[in-house]
Amino acid sequence: MHKAFESRVRLGIMSALAVNDELDFSSLKEFLDVTDGNLATHLKKLTKLEFIDEEKSFIDNKPNTRYFMTDKGKKAFDDHLKVLEQIIKSQK
């Protein structure tokens, strides 16, 4: 089981990005209900692992960063889901 998914916030980020092509910082923040700093830290960790990537742009002269899942991230997330399911099944 990958350590990246031990954190609730990181698991939340990956879940949200699994069903959205891309999401910006403020949308993620609203869904996860965390502080800016907390979210930024976890996003940085996931980016470092190459599970997600970011795309920076400007909207009305304000910086806007959108995040999306990489293929590597997708695979890791799917594997994680499979492991979770297996554990639950085997314990029943």
Partner 1 sequence: MKEEQDYINDLAEIRSMMERSSKFLSLSGLAGVMAGLYALAGAWIAYSVLNFTPQTISSEYYQSVNASSNLTQLILLACLVLVLAVGTAIWFSYRKANKRGESIWNATSKRLLASISVPLLTGGLLILILLSKSFISLIAPLTLIFYGLALYNASKFSYEEVKYLGMIQIALGLLSTLFTGYGLLFWAIGFGAVHIVYGIFIHIRYER
Question: How many CA atoms does the CB half-sphere of 76 hold within 13 Å?
Answer: 21
* 3-state secondary structure at position 45: helix
Which CA distances in Å does 48 have to 42, 58, 67, 86, 89? 10, 23, 13, 28, 32
47 binds partner 1 (CB under 8 A): no
70 binds partner 1 (CB under 8 A): no
In the complex, the smallest distance separating the C-beta of residue 11 from partner 1, rounded to whole angstroms, is: 6
Q: Closest CB to partner 1 among 18 and 48? A: 18
Q: Closest CB to partner 1 among 48 and 87? A: 87
For binding to partner 1 (CB under 8 A), which residues are involved? 5, 8, 11-12, 15-16, 18-20, 23-24, 27, 30-33, 81, 84-85, 87-88, 91
